[in-house]
Structure 1
């Protein structure tokens, strides 16, 4: 008799479990053969580093004087002498990261600069001034042609940043010899210089046989970019901008 009661209790518990399962499945009887689940599609969501960040709430106009070799410090924070809010600095730097990425990925940049009669003189002058700076400090070149080509790419990137500024703001305004640019330009030049230093280190070491202790390779890279940026600001806006103005008029 106790065995029968035990079996009845177990059967009642089993029925209760089945009833709960049926209730949770909306009244449908559970099947032994479950339908295979379809594999979920993995949708790639870009991280912050891959997104094109929106422009900062404020991109103030700043003066950009001709870079001075003795005062140029590639590791110094951009616009350290400007009273910029720390939050704004973060926005400007984030925006500059996206712009620098597009500058670094620009295809055939050196070839395009060489074919542009207005851009190429700025590239040549920036490279020559950078090489002259290195020689004045006692640098001995092992492969001048290799070093020249590496610096020419840096100069072409500086020209592109300047033309980008002119595409957005038009012809550069000047206060004497000081160009009126945007704060984000300084951050972009720094980010491009940092990335190009890592990319060009093999060429820099192969092109320089001996250099003084106070001349870091990073100075040549960022200085060349900054000088080319300054020189190109003297010119007219790129032709794409002029065509847009002509069509709009």
Structure 2
């Protein structure tokens, strides 16, 4: 029994589950630092949003987190360019020229006032619909008919059936304009060809376990230490701060809090 307790104690030490003190008490919390209007200017928060993406001409696409809400495109001064609801069951696509494709229509950059119907094909939806229309057939005959239909459908767009799609997801995925048709063969129905890369803010020290959060199962609460330039801050390790450049200026993006200009 004593041996078992000793082994458990050694395992606990190895896992290092005991909270420690803040390794850098002199470094400000990010939540406090963001209140300093000499260092940061808030551009947009995350209320009702799932993401903030940078588009052509340094505009921002605000994607909603609820199908009842519209998407918005604004500039960095918060001027609204377009605001519309869209069908989440259909693809949403932004091409390299800045044009938008949603609800089976194309909206032209830059002001999106001009639009026209645009053919959209979601391969899996087409296959499901074909299968539903063949319910009178046996399973084997219906499978063969759908398989033949898939080959014919894909041939129109220079595509072939993708074998082992689970193992070769990247090679099987298609989301692009082919023969003046938006063709989608993948699970995700959103794609932005113009998205700017966000850079993770580097850490200047290791994360520190400062406590445990209560719940059905206790979860560790870590404090992470970040630095970009001369600016240091600390925050929850799940904050995942990133930086990006828009119109020649630096911005801080926080998935849970929004976009801030770094002054």
- The bucket for the TM-score relative to the shorter chain is under 0.3
Between Structure 1 and Structure 2, the one with more helix by share is 1
Between Structure 1 and Structure 2, the one with more strand by share is 2
- TM-score (ref. length: structure 1): 0.20
